[in-house]
Amino acid sequence: MTARLAITVNNVRLACHVSGPPDGSPMVLLHALGVDSASWEAVRAAFDNSFRVVAIDARGHGESERPDTYSFELMRDDVIGVLDQLNLQQVTLVGHSMGGTVAYLVAQEQPNRFERFILEDTPPPYPMERAVSTRTRRPEPLPFDPAVLPAIAAQIANPDPAWWDRLADITAPTLLIAGGPSSHIPQEKLVEVAAALPTSTLVTIPVGHSVHQNSPAEFTTAITAFLRD
């Protein structure tokens, strides 16, 4: 059973969907751009038996408030605020795509707070010749605020170099799950991340960028093996 909490952080109301045993070790899930925490449903049940799972709708997404102001740094501060209000320590942090970038920033800011760090097909943003498209053909109502797109696209096109420079600050054992050649993410960037992190494991599941949705069984098996080791 999933409970919905409304937590106000930085004057923004965030929806947090909580499941699993109350005394379970905390696992926090951060979703990709343009979706919400429901995108984790294919794998969430696999973690509910062992973890207190907290899936956060990022600002401007899902059931969270749409404040018209967006950046990776604001989302980082939102996540830290949720962790503070729920008093979560020794967290397993899982991030996909945009949520993965937020996870990097959170772990760089408070490295001692995390027991394990899991990134799905996500390096920190790197300079690209072409910016991410801000167009969408999805029907109304959108599951996110359209203002998120240009704000995040601008940072992806012109990222802060410190996001790469501070990878060594992430001290928790880290699992990187790569989506393989069919992903739009250059897979060599994930190899670079793995080399820069103090303790990392890189696993490729060649099903594209959304590994947890395209192959949920392999995704959960990889995470379970990593957590067991």
pLDDT tens-digit profile of 2-53? 899 999 999 999 999 999 999 999 999 999 999 999 999 999 999 998 999 9
Pairing label, strands 3-9, 51-56: unpaired
Residue 133 confidence (pLDDT) above 70: no
Quote the number of domains for the chain: 1
Residue 135: give the domain boundaries: 3-228
**Tell me: the pLDDT tens digits for 203-229?**
999 999 999 999 999 999 999 999 998
How confident is the model at residue 141, as a pLDDT?
A: 78
How confident is the model at residue 1, as a pLDDT?
A: 75
CA distance 78 to 74: 6
Instruction: Read off the CATH number of the domain in which 20 is found.
Output: 3.40.50.1820
Label residue 134 by pLDDT band (50, 70, 90): very low
**Tell me: the pLDDT tens digits for 141-198?**
788 999 999 999 999 999 999 999 999 999 999 999 999 999 999 999 999 999 999 9
What whole-number percentage of the chain has pLDDT above 90? 90
Residue 136 confidence (pLDDT) above 50: no
**Tell me: the pLDDT tens digits for 100-132?**
999 999 999 999 999 999 999 999 999 865 445
CA distance 44 to 148: 25
CA angle 24, 105, 209 (to 5 degrees): 80
How confident is the model at residue 131, as a pLDDT?
A: 45
Greater confidence (75 vs 139) lies with: 75
Contact at 8 Å (CB) between 179 and 211?
yes
**Predicted structure pTM score:** 0.95
